[in-house]
Structure 1
């Protein structure tokens, strides 16, 4: 029988006491956590109810209003502490300004507001006009108010005069359309408040209205769709026993379809001969745009790239060729030319991802069937090694064309590996270059 020393027994007792303390602490923590969750569940509805009532009132006070209120409180505190009458006067003045400002936020507006853009789609550089219409559809006159209308990155302000019941007023404004963009007009907001801007009460009257400023495009000749001109499909190098494009004859092998036997040749040679065909595939065009900011020398060069993309896409859709168009943010709609042009308005420069051009194309087309023709539009700052690597992504059955936009370069047509490399310095050069590339 073994006996433990007093030191060992003391250690065991301390360890046991420590375990019990930990267990008790865990129990207390669980109890406190449960109580906190139960209390939070009860307090949360009350807090939501209070905040829903307080938020509209607090939201009326502008940043300047909070500064004035805070200054007034500090002035009163220092005045009572130090007995300075001057600070007491300052605090009273600021507080009076806030009280007077409250008179300007009361009142009810009975407006029916409309925001119209005409036309809703324009080409960059064309004129677009907007109209803001305000009607008093209430039973009482409405005092003058100010209406704010965000338009793109700017904001238009209009003064709505006093309107009697049923009265209407309208304001016309021009929308800047110098560059391709998706411009959002609205929402129209009426503003009530004092002239100092201490209090500001707003009411939203409309939703946003979209104005599509399409990129400039150029018409391509039908023969320049470069762009696979076949009716039943594009001939590939794959040999098959059944298709439309005849390739050659070969000797019969067990298992061959008897319908493919060429009887005249078989009678002449004395052995069974069967037909072979080149496999044809329906024309599938892939149109990709590399939108990484650092790959373009300037914003104008980026816009030229978008115009090239849109010009080719519109022509392909008109030719009723199956098309997939994409950029870093995903696929573009290609049901109609208008849908493609609308989506091209959303293309914006993206930051560098660190992956090369080939990796971007590989990830973007991972779930797509190999195209019969792949056209990629890139900027002038793409390294030749990246371009060369991108040409090896697809097999020999895919024809590839790289279009490099370079405003400072010369228009030219060349080969890069087994791909066609087209350099475009101006949009007007695109039809002739693609026509030469399609020969």
Structure 2
């Protein structure tokens, strides 16, 4: 074999990756992309930091400074150049007020987290300097609902404390978010401002006012301690009559003395006693109320009935109208069940309810409650004066036979009244205290 053939059969030498021109170009492009991404991320973070400390007045000053430099150097106007430099010096001086680290220990303290509407609730902010140096004074802010409590905290030496008290307004029922506590450092003009949040947000539940209802007021509910029902059963505590034995009856129900007298098997029959199940349905539809005062009275009535049932250890369900999303409006019953495990949880849920134009009216609420809640013995329908008697009768007809339906119409400052319409009891109250007397009249009726 000649040398030319050997040369032709020898494989070419492998070229290392990255040493060719294409490989170097690819690495350069990849490095450029990585650098651009890092630069963009850093620029975004820097812009976020700057935008978080610049106030609207500061943005206006930056705009004036930029426009002054542009017009002054472009047109040669010395006045605009002076304005630009003066504004820039002002911004640099303002940034000096933000230099420094806030090393405070700040705590927000509320003595209670649940109050009744109208009570005064004091909150306290405690600030401590745990460092070895003196910390400058800053502004302390505590968001209270839609308001803001502000304090001017002086400079604190090593180990010094600062505390101040603010009052939370509870003139209206609801859930008030309080906090988090913020410290604010700003320049005297207000161009720059840096805020730091220190504590977590807490919620203050402002419960509706309730009235104590004696247990006798709800004693007309049929339960194991009260009167039996008209339904018959083969095993209970209230004896009704004797009847002949039929296939399937239990042998222990046979009355042997009567069997010996008649010569035929006779079994005992009883009247069924049921465990009472109280339901309170609160309408949230705007069409059922004339004004806000009627709705607040209705919430207090629902809370009073539910709290009394919980204290009596009765089975109770408290429901309210719900506004389902548009996508689920046909599938959801439009009913919201409130928690009744404890008194506090029920009142917490009632603190957050509000009227809505999309909520179900009382007649549709009764239909949803009758379909959802099983075993109801007494149903309270709580609504306002805008609800007509025809609507209440329609609502009462939604429940099965044997369910006592009581409608409570809330009309502030009206004379309380009671009337019976077929199987429906209608109470009209003007004040929350009228509820006790009206329920006593209902029982007597």
Whether the aligned pair in 2 keeps the contact of 1:237 and 1:397 (CA below 8 Å) is no
Which of 96, 100, 109 is the aligned partner of 1:107? 100
Which of 346, 358, 365 is the aligned partner of 1:360? 365
How big is each residue's C-alpha offset from its partner over 1:227-273, in whole Å with a ceiling of 9 and x where there is no partner? 62633687444333233333333322223222222233333333333
Aligned residue in 1 for 2:340: 334
Q: Aligned Cα RMSD in Å?
A: 2.7
How big is each residue's C-alpha offset from its partner over 1:9-28, in whole Å with a ceiling of 9 and x where there is no partner? xxxxxxxxxxxxxxxxxxxx
Measure, in 1, the Cα distance between the counterparts of 2:341 and 2:275.
18
How big is each residue's C-alpha offset from its partner over 1:324-369, in whole Å with a ceiling of 9 and x where there is no partner? 112235322222222222322222222333x432322333564431
Change (3 A) 1:226 1:300: farther
Q: Does 1:250 align with 2:243?
A: yes
CA shift for structure 1 position 43: 8.3
Unpaired runs of at least 5, structure 1: 1-39
Measure, in 2, the Cα distance between the counterparts of 1:361 and 1:107.
62
Whether the aligned pair in 1 keeps the contact of 2:222 and 2:275 (CA below 8 Å) is no
Change (3 A) 1:285 1:44: farther
CA shift for structure 1 position 413: 1.0
Aligned residue in 2 for 1:121: 114
Which of 417, 421, 430 is the aligned partner of 1:425? 430
Aligned residue in 1 for 2:52: 59
Change (3 A) 1:132 1:274: same
Measure, in 1, the Cα distance between the counterparts of 2:226 and 2:43.
68
Correspondence 1:282-431 to 2 at 5 A: 282-329=275-322, 330-353=336-359, 355-364=360-369, 366-431=371-436
Structure 1 window deviating more from structure 2 (337-346 vs 72-81): it is 72-81
Change (3 A) 1:88 1:411: same
CA shift for structure 1 position 63: 2.4
SS of the residue aligned with 2:368?
Answer: helix
Change (3 A) 1:165 1:358: same
Whether the aligned pair in 1 keeps the contact of 2:370 and 2:398 (CA below 8 Å) is no
CA shift for structure 1 position 279: 2.8
Measure, in 1, the Cα distance between the counterparts of 2:35 and 2:391.
61
Change (3 A) 1:168 1:415: same
Q: Does 1:180 align with 2:173?
A: yes
Whether the aligned pair in 2 keeps the contact of 1:226 and 1:438 (CA below 8 Å) is yes
Structure 1 window deviating more from structure 2 (255-264 vs 164-173): it is 255-264
Measure, in 2, the Cα distance between the counterparts of 1:137 and 1:78.
50
How big is each residue's C-alpha offset from its partner over 1:183-221, in whole Å with a ceiling of 9 and x where there is no partner? 222111000111222211100011122223222221111
Measure, in 1, the Cα distance between the counterparts of 2:56 and 2:35.
33
Unpaired runs of at least 5, structure 2: 1-32, 323-335
TM-score for the superposition, normalised by structure 2: 0.82
SS of the residue aligned with 1:376?
Answer: strand
TM-score for the superposition, normalised by structure 1: 0.83
CA shift for structure 1 position 105: 1.3
CA shift for structure 1 position 226: 4.8
SS of the residue aligned with 1:210?
Answer: strand
CA shift for structure 1 position 41: 12
Which of 157, 181, 184 is the aligned partner of 2:150? 157
Aligned residue in 1 for 2:182: 189
Structure 1 window deviating more from structure 2 (407-416 vs 195-204): it is 407-416
Aligned residue in 1 for 2:138: 145
Measure, in 2, the Cα distance between the counterparts of 1:315 and 1:324.
12
Whether the aligned pair in 2 keeps the contact of 1:262 and 1:274 (CA below 8 Å) is yes
Whether the aligned pair in 2 keeps the contact of 1:283 and 1:322 (CA below 8 Å) is yes
Aligned residue in 2 for 1:69: 62
Whether the aligned pair in 1 keeps the contact of 2:413 and 2:431 (CA below 8 Å) is no
Change (3 A) 1:246 1:46: farther
CA shift for structure 1 position 60: 1.3
SS of the residue aligned with 1:438?
Answer: helix
Measure, in 2, the Cα distance between the counterparts of 1:187 and 1:234.
55
Q: Does 1:218 align with 2:211?
A: yes
Measure, in 1, the Cα distance between the counterparts of 2:231 and 2:76.
98
Q: How many pairs does the alignment contain? A: 400
Whether the aligned pair in 2 keeps the contact of 1:233 and 1:283 (CA below 8 Å) is no
SS of the residue aligned with 1:434?
Answer: helix
Which of 231, 239, 242 is the aligned partner of 2:232? 239
CA shift for structure 1 position 306: 1.4
How big is each residue's C-alpha offset from its partner over 1:378-410, in whole Å with a ceiling of 9 and x where there is no partner? 111123222111101211132211111011532
Change (3 A) 1:196 1:54: same
Aligned residue in 2 for 1:34: none
Measure, in 2, the Cα distance between the counterparts of 1:57 and 1:184.
28
Measure, in 2, the Cα distance between the counterparts of 1:250 and 1:291.
51
